[in-house]
Structure 1
Amino acid sequence: MSLPVDATRLAVGTLTVLPVEPPSTVDRRVAALAMTLAPLAVLPLAVPVALLVWAGDRLDTPALLTGLLAVGLLALGSGGLHLDGLADTADGLTVPGDTTRRLAVMRTGDVGPVGAATLLLVMSVQAVALAGTLERYGAAAAALTAGLGVVVSRGCLVIACSRGVPAARGDGLGSAVAGSVPLPVVLLVLGALTTTALLLDGGRGVAGVTVAAVVAGGVLLRAVRRLGGVTGDVLGAVVELALAGYLVAQVVGSP
């Protein structure tokens, strides 16, 4: 099987619930290309979320309800994988003890109080920020924001998988993709996201990409310091927090 086919299957199968055949091979080249293709792989999620936001306004649905439904649809479309990673990462980063204990807590899959509170807070921020965008700029602009937010947040995975970033453990998704994306490719992806956001959404789009990238970098630094590297859960946390950052940038400081 060709490299692009395997990479596409890995990206789509990891980031969405769309039924795809598993890749025949998962090596460093496949992992790197899969993370690079992440913004394109999630277009089947971004488009329905954008359409839901637009339709919600056309049907006079309250903006906050539309925001909540959009966040819920995105969670369903990704199988809740990133939300699970966010909760586990929050628990692991805050639990007392050494790195071994933190990773063990993350592996159990149980959601502790910190993880639950983090889920509630982040999803609320996403929904409220999207609702604020809808109220301020209207259906078309909010739909575009929602779609771009999905694409950009997944694009930020290249930051967490950039060359030199270690895996926190020797198994799992994190170990397969950690450190796989060369720095020039990271810059290329971020540049492409910024250019796309500028062309489609002007300064607000650029602000969203900038904030999302900074948030992703902050999560990455914290994970490396507390966990020794990234895991699949950390990648999920990067996605959800980058999305929150992108959406918040659309309403904070805006007229």
Structure 2
Amino acid sequence: MTRASTLRDGWLHATSTLSAVRVPPPSRVDRAVAGTAMVLAPVAALPLGAAAAVVVLVADLVDLPALATAYVVLLTLALGTRAFHWDGLADTADGLTASYSPERSLEVMRTGPVGPAGVVAVVLVSGMQAAGLTAVVRHEHAWWAVGLLVCASRAALAVCCVRGVPAARADGLGATHIGAVPVVGAIATLLVAAVATAFAGHALGSAVPTLIGLVVMVAAVLALLLRCVRRLGGITGDVLGAATELSFAVLVLAAATV
């Protein structure tokens, strides 16, 4: 297959998997396409970022309170991803607190209903996102800053799937993606995220806090990966969702300090 077809299939795969946007199915999904999809995740999230930006812009025009605007943004993102990442966050929290047995924890993550740890994780992370967004949307140019932060948060997926990170099990949606991203690809994705966060910070008044937020985001994702590898023997697709929501929370909280 040509590089162009791999890029096309990677973009289609990323868009159809990470959002509710309807696109034609990729012609194939192998390791190369899966890795490309994770590298292109911030680009594939552009429709989500645009939707969030429109919500902030319209909310400002109708004088919607900042807290209400924040929750409408979160609702829009949840609908735009079919709550896919939130499910991963809940399952990851439940799995990490279920048992000292990796096998039992992975079974809970695969089949179990949402438990207390999952509920707490979703409430806390969504609360942090709402708190950060409430402060951010008060800025004059918040609409495109929020859109850029949505896209930048998806860079966490390339970090999670970089070569060397093991998969906790051989089956499941994440198995094809985990370890499929070359180091160069992960670095390129982070550079794109750095540009996006810098522009977002500039729109709010200063790029420094948002760039620091990106560094903290990467550190938080690495800490999550380390915990999962030690606890589960690797990561799963659920961890990818957890990393995405955690990353967005970190970025908007950093932006809230501008």
Partner of 1:98: 101
Q: TM-score, normalised by structure 2?
A: 0.92
Query: For residues 122-150 of structure 1, what are the alpha-carbon distances to aligned partners after superposition, in whole Å with 9 as ceiling and x for unaligned?
Result: 11110111001223xx241x223311221
How many pairs are equivalent? 250
Partner of 2:48: 45
Partner of 1:143: 143
Q: For residues 171 and 24 of structure 2, what CA distance do their matches in structure 1 show?
A: 21
Unaligned runs of 5+ in 1: none
Partner of 1:183: 183
Q: Does 2:182 correspond to 1:207? A: no
Q: 1:23 Cα shift?
A: 2.0
Contact 2:152 2:196 in 1 (8 A): no
Q: 1:204 Cα shift?
A: 3.1
Contact 1:165 1:179 in 2 (8 A): yes
Q: Does 2:71 correspond to 1:65? A: no
Contact 2:145 2:200 in 1 (8 A): no
Partner of 2:204: none
Q: 1:200 Cα shift?
A: 4.6
Q: For residues 168 and 213 of structure 2, what CA distance do their matches in structure 1 show?
A: 29
Q: TM-score, normalised by structure 1?
A: 0.93
Q: For residues 45 and 197 of structure 1, what CA distance do their matches in structure 2 show?
A: 16
Q: For residues 38 and 179 of structure 1, what CA distance do their matches in structure 2 show?
A: 15
Q: 1:90 Cα shift?
A: 0.4
Q: 48-57 vs 82-91, which deviates more?
A: 48-57
> Superposed, which structure 2 residues align to 1:13-162 within 5 Å?
13-135=16-138, 138-140=139-141, 142-162=142-162
**3-state SS of paired residue (2:20):** coil
Q: Which amino acid aligns with 1:7?
A: G
Query: For residues 202-234 of structure 1, what are the alpha-carbon distances to aligned partners after superposition, in whole Å with 9 as ceiling and x for unaligned?
Result: 223312322222222121111111111111100
Q: Which amino acid aligns with 1:155?
A: A
Q: 1:109 Cα shift?
A: 4.3
Identity among equivalent pairs (%): 44
Q: 1:56 Cα shift?
A: 1.2
Tell me how large the CA RMSD over aligned residues is: 1.5
Query: For residues 31-57 of structure 1, what are the alpha-carbon distances to aligned partners after superposition, in whole Å with 9 as ceiling and x for unaligned?
Result: 111111100001011011012112212
Q: Which amino acid aligns with 1:16?
A: S
Contact 1:11 1:37 in 2 (8 A): yes
Unaligned runs of 5+ in 2: 202-206
Q: Does 2:242 correspond to 1:242? A: no
Q: 32-41 vs 198-207, which deviates more?
A: 198-207
Q: For residues 198 and 253 of structure 2, what CA distance do their matches in structure 1 show?
A: 17
